[in-house]
Amino acid sequence: MKRYFIEVAYKGAAYSGFQVQENSHTVQSEIDRALSILFRAPVVTTGSSRTDAGVNAQQNFLHFDTDLPLHPQFLYKINAILPADVVLRQIYETPETAHSRFDALSRSYEYTLYTHKDPFMQDRGYFFPYKLDAGALQEAAAVLMEYSDFSTFSKRNTQVKTFICKIAESRWDIGAERLVYHVTANRFLRGMVRGLVGTMLRVGRGKLTMEQFRQAIESRDCTNADFAVPGQGLFLMKVRYPEGLLAPVFP
């Protein structure tokens, strides 16, 4: 049995999220369906990262096992089966013990806000036409890197054993009409990026002082975070693995 990683990208607007859910239309269920059609046998994938309804991905990974040979036109054929808003970019052969979720070293996300009405950004950003203090946003983003326990920014009903995350990057790019938050960490909690963004926006609008922001983080209480920003502004940008783990099948 060989193990393969597949690299995918998708627009999340039409989906109830990434992970397979009973009676829901999800990205992973479309990928499993396409693989099963191509292989003419049931294929069940395991994903590297879960994303919520409406969330997009420039890069996500899944893995699956099969003894069946890969068709020489695998990429072309699988993309002909997948819907237009999902693309499989590459397939990699890996050691049979490799795991798309647990072997990931880090994940990078972006959250985009746009300040002027733009119909072309409707499912790729959050329309936020309010005055913001750019300096306060940057300061809040920098403050996050001083902490490791992000219990405050995890939605309830999660099954994780620890709320410890190591954030390697946290910053805003602020332009005339776009604001983009960049964050990279070894792991993320359920709803974490949206909680970070929503709470920082309260700082940027003067509804939270920097001291109150720190108090919210240190409270380890999710009722002190704001998760209200919508999913369509969020993109999973990159999942990083150890050097040499992924060997492209089709260079």
Active site residues: 52
Task: Characterize 183-210 residue by residue with b for buried, 16 or more Cβ atoms within 10 angstroms of its Cβ, and e for exposed.
Answer: bbbebbbbbbbbbbbbbbbbbbeeebee
Cα–Cα distance list, 199 to 75, 117, 194 (Å): 41, 23, 8
Helix, strand and coil content of the chain, in percent to the nearest 5, comes to 25, 30, 45
**Residue written as token pair 């699988």:** 78
Q: Rounded to whole angstroms, how far apart are CA atoms 111 and 138? A: 14
Backbone angles phi and psi of 21, in degrees to 5: -135, 145
Residue 90, sorted as left (phi over 0), alpha (psi -120 to 50) or beta, turns out to be beta
Q: Which helix (H) or strand (E) holds 16?
A: none
Q: How far apart are CA 117 and CA 17, in angstroms?
A: 26
